[in-house]
C-alpha cells in the first residue's frame, strides 16, 4: 500500500499533471468571464443591430397543449422546449474562447525561436544510402557521384 501511495504521489507531483490541473482551473474561470462577456456585452448590441432580438429567448415549444411567451415561463411550467437561442449563445462563446486561445498560443509561439528547416538529404543514386552534400564518392558503395 505504501508503494502504491508513493507512486501516486510521484504521479500527482509531476509537472505536467500540475500544469494541466492549473490549466483546467484557469480555463473554468476564463469560461465564466467569456460567458459573461457574450451574455452581457456582445449579445445585447448584436440583438439591437438585428432589430431588438434576444437570442437567449429563442426556443421551440415541443408541447401542443401548453404555451409560454418566454423561455423562463416555459421552464417554470415544465414545458419541454428546444432552446436554440441558448445554443447560439454557446456557439458564440466557443468562438470567442477559440479566438482567445488562438491569440494566446500565437503570442506564445513568438517567444520560441523558429526551427531551422532541415535540408533535404542527398542520396547515392546507386545504393540509395544518405550521403553528405559535398561528397564526390559514396561512403557505402564507393561509387563516384557525378551529380
CATH 1.10.1200.120 for the 2-115 domain, yes or no:
yes
How many Å apart are CA 94 and CA 37, to the nearest integer? 12
Farthest-apart Cα atoms in the chain, separation = 90
> For residue 147, is pLDDT > 70?
no
Q: How far apart are CA 100 and CA 89, in angstroms?
A: 16
Q: Which three cell numbers stand for residue 23?
A: 490549466
Strand partners, 121: none
The percentage of the chain sitting over the pLDDT mark of 90, rounded to a whole number, equals: 7
Between these two residues, 133 and 118, which has the higher pLDDT value?
133
**Whole-model pTM above 0.75?**
no
pLDDT at 82: 92
Residue 5: pLDDT over 80: yes
User: What integer pLDDT is reported at residue 67 of this predicted model?
Assistant: 83
The grid cell for 79 is 414545458
Backbone dihedral region of 36: left (phi > 0), alpha (psi from -120 to 50 degrees) or beta?
A: alpha
First to last CA, the chain: 67
pLDDT at 135 over 70: yes
What DSSP character marks residue 60? E
Within the chain, which residue ranges are assigned CATH 1.10.1200.120?
2-115
Cell of 146: 557525378
CB–CB of 72/42 below 8 Å? no
| Angle at alpha carbon of residue 114, lines to 112 and 115, rounded to 5° | 120
Amino acid at each position: 500500500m505504501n508503494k502504491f501511495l508513493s507512486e501516486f504521489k510521484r504521479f500527482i507531483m509531476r509537472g505536467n499533471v500540475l500544469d494541466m490541473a492549473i490549466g483546467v482551473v484557469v480555463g473554468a474561470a476564463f469560461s465564466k468571464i467569456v460567458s459573461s462577456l457574450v451574455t452581457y456585452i456582445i449579445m445585447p448590441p448584436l440583438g439591437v443591430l438585428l432589430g431588438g432580438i434576444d437570442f437567449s429567448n429563442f426556443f421551440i415549444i415541443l408541447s401542443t397543449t401548453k404555451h409560454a411567451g418566454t423561455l423562463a415561463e416555459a421552464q417554470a411550467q415544465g414545458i419541454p422546449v428546444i432552446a436554440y437561442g441558448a445554443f447560439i449563445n454557446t456557439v458564440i462563446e466557443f468562438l470567442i474562447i477559440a479566438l482567445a486561445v488562438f491569440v494566446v498560443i500565437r503570442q506564445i509561439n513568438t517567444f520560441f525561436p523558429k526551427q531551422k528547416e532541415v535540408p533535404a538529404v542527398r542520396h547515392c543514386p546507386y545504393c540509395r544510402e544518405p550521403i553528405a552534400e559535398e561528397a564526390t564518392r559514396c561512403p557505402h558503395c564507393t561509387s563516384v557521384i557525378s551529380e
